[in-house]
Amino acid sequence: MSGAPAEVAVVGEYHPITEGKATILFPNTNEVFYNPVQQFNRDMSIAAIKTWGKEYLEQKQNKRKGGASDEAAPSGFSVLEALSATGLRSIRYAKEIESLDYVVANDIEADAVRSIRRNIAHNGLTEEKVRPSERDACALMYESRDPAKRFDVIDLDPYGSASPFLDGAVQAVADGGLLCITCTDLAILSGSSHPETCFAKYGGSPVRAEFCHEMALRLVLHALQTSAARYKRVITPLASFSIDFYIRMFVRVHTSPKDVKRTASKTSMVYHCTGCKSFTMQALGKVTTDGKNEKFGVSAGPAANGPCEHCGHTLHVGGPFWGAAIHDADFLSRMLAHVKESKELYVTQPRMVGMLSVASEELDTPFYYTMSSLAAAVQGNNPPIQALFSALLNLGYKVSGSHAARGSLKTNAPTSVVWDVMRTWIKSHPVVEKNIKPTAPAARLLAVEPSAQVDFTVHPKANPDSRKHKLVRYQENPEKYWGPKARAKRARKE
């Protein structure tokens, strides 16, 4: 493969689009796919890969110095962008990630590959640094399963679901490597209209709940770990985000037959009440230890039985899904520090700092309540979020928001305690009792006297730093008619 800049003639009508350090020539005929709203996605991806890459290369070098490896010290790492379209993401990676060795910009469409070649040349890069490839993404990844052929980073940003590509990706990524995954099919992942489709694609079903966007993340992570476990590999989610109309996650993969045994204990179901919106978790497996050895078994159940214990309404079952942490605290801290120091590198830096800050404050506990759903259940007015946070903190529990929803409450408090807080709130902010029907969730919830001694005195930790510093925590619609764009047009063959 030549190291000289690719000579590809620029013909037809194109308009230049500059993003970061890259400028692409975008055809007016829409033969290839480009969505400007996803600049935030690409900025976050560059920051995540840089953060991961620094630690990855340091570990490789330390391993070699310690005599654990005969391999030459790595100077950089490889990236596969499996579904490249214009090549914009690959070109940005090549120009903005200093430790990148090379990136393969792959697309199955001939028009897209022509665009990739044109943009490589336009940006003064070589086809050694950015390697155009016209292949089926799955076939390319399956052919790269040999450890000597694996990629250090695989980026999947498909039009729609990433599910067809997950099995190949977990095999083609290097040990300790990084998977960057986007899914835009949130109508399937976060809705309950097509549970059969979601189960077929991801091996789990969602429920109609306020925490639907977090559940979407956990369903994809479950599908990823299920695929990885077949090859004695495990995942470590480093950062997982619900953004605009899609989800994006950064996941480290390594080989460990021992850790694969913990997969069931990190997999859960959820019982979700259709009335008061309470939820109960049910892990599928458990791990016990006698101090030296671990024993793996199945969980006792059911965690919930019959109608909801709080309001008497029907419970729906969702899952299975990834029940462990969706972020790595150390990784988020390092990524946030990098982004704060790199204002000139990222146009979307204020939003990046805000989202990373909120994510770093999140509790590991799955799912969240919202102020509006709690208030609706008791047919009262929305309590200030700081009041609810303070009440739970004063009772000795932990609280946080979620990056996935405004007005959200994550807590390790039992659901019964959450309802005690709401009952106490209603005592000082009465509801109109005549408007409560006997069969409504509020009738049964408010018929019980609170057993906890609730104190709404403002707690010093009730106002998180991300709110104190007035960061961009929840983005408004980025532009008019934003959202998923139409699929690129295929050129007609004569």
The CATH number given to whatever domain includes residue 432 is: 3.30.56.70
- What pLDDT, on a 0 to 100 scale, did the predictor assign at position 64? 74
Asked if residue 477 is part of any domain, the answer here is no
Question: Amino acid letter at 327?
Answer: H
What's the half-sphere exposure (Cβ side, CA atoms, 13 Å) at 461? 12
Cis peptide before 16 (omega within 30 of 0): no
Asked if residue 287 is part of any domain, the answer here is yes
Same-domain check for residues 307 and 377: no
Among residues of the chain, what percentage have pLDDT more than 90?
Answer: 81
Same-domain check for residues 315 and 460: no
Same-domain check for residues 163 and 48: yes
Same-domain check for residues 216 and 296: yes
CATH number at residue 47: 3.40.50.150
What's the pTM value of the predicted model, to 2 decimals? 0.92
Question: Amino acid letter at 317?
Answer: V
Same-domain check for residues 323 and 376: no
Asked if residue 318 is part of any domain, the answer here is yes
- What pLDDT, on a 0 to 100 scale, did the predictor assign at position 72? 64
Q: How confident is the model at residue 470 (pLDDT cuts 50, 70, 90)?
A: confident
Asked which of 302, 329, 356 is the last residue of a domain, the reply is 329
Asked if residue 193 is part of any domain, the answer here is yes
Residues 361, 468 contacting (CB under 8 angstroms): no
- What pLDDT, on a 0 to 100 scale, did the predictor assign at position 52? 99
Asked if residue 479 is part of any domain, the answer here is no
More reliable by pLDDT, 52 or 482: 52
Q: At what angle do helices 385-394 and 415-428 cross, to 10 degrees?
A: 120
Asked if residue 302 is part of any domain, the answer here is yes
Mean pLDDT, residues 323-329 taken together: 98
Beta bridge partners, 252, equal 178, 236
Q: What is the CA radius of gyration of the chain?
A: 25
d(CA 229, CA 2): 39
The first and second tokens of residue 127, run together, are 């086809």
* pLDDT digit string, tens, across residues 382-404: 999 999 999 999 999 999 999 99
Average pLDDT, the chain: 91
Same-domain check for residues 323 and 456: no
Mean pLDDT, residues 200-209 taken together: 97
- What pLDDT, on a 0 to 100 scale, did the predictor assign at position 192? 76
Q: What is the DSSP string of 151-208?
A: EEEEEE--SS--HHHHHHHHHHEEEEEEEEEEE--HHHHS-SS-HHHHHHHHS-B--S
Residues 195, 205 contacting (CB under 8 angstroms): yes
d(CA 210, CA 233): 32
Query: 148 in helix, strand or coil?
Result: coil
* pLDDT digit string, tens, across residues 425-466: 999 999 999 999 999 999 999 999 999 999 999 999 999 988
What is the phi-psi region of residue 438: left when phi exceeds 0, alpha when psi lies from -120 to 50, beta otherwise?
Answer: alpha
Asked which of 301, 329, 357 is the last residue of a domain, the reply is 329
Strands 279-283 vs 285-289: parallel, antiparallel or unpaired = unpaired
**E strands of 265-424, at which residues?**
267-273, 279-283, 285-289, 294-298, 315-322, 369-370, 399-402, 405-411
Asked if residue 339 is part of any domain, the answer here is no
d(CA 188, CA 248): 15
Same-domain check for residues 317 and 384: no
Return the sign of the alpha-carbon dihedral for residues 211, 217, 223, 228. Answer: negative
Closest to 80 (Cα-Cα) out of 90, 88, 91, 72: 90
Cis peptide before 302 (omega within 30 of 0): yes
Q: How confident is the model at residue 493 (pLDDT cuts 50, 70, 90)?
A: very low
In angstroms, the Cα distances linking 185 to 161, 431, 483 are: 6, 40, 12
By residue range, what is the domain housing residue 82? 14-329
371: pLDDT strictly greater than 80 = yes
Mean pLDDT, residues 306-320 taken together: 96
Same-domain check for residues 228 and 320: yes
- Which range is least confidently modeled, 4-13, 348-357, 418-427, 464-473? 4-13
* pLDDT digit string, tens, across residues 149-195: 999 999 999 989 999 999 999 999 999 999 999 999 999 999 878 99
What is the phi-psi region of residue 380: left when phi exceeds 0, alpha when psi lies from -120 to 50, beta otherwise?
Answer: beta
Among residues of the chain, what percentage have pLDDT more than 70?
Answer: 90
Asked if residue 9 is part of any domain, the answer here is no
Query: 384 in helix, strand or coil?
Result: coil
Structural domain count of the chain: 2
Same-domain check for residues 97 and 185: yes
Same-domain check for residues 60 and 201: yes
Asked which of 311, 329, 347 is the last residue of a domain, the reply is 329
More reliable by pLDDT, 490 or 303: 303
- What pLDDT, on a 0 to 100 scale, did the predictor assign at position 481? 45
Same-domain check for residues 397 and 320: no
- What pLDDT, on a 0 to 100 scale, did the predictor assign at position 13? 78
Strands 151-156 vs 77-81: parallel, antiparallel or unpaired = parallel
Same-domain check for residues 130 and 51: yes
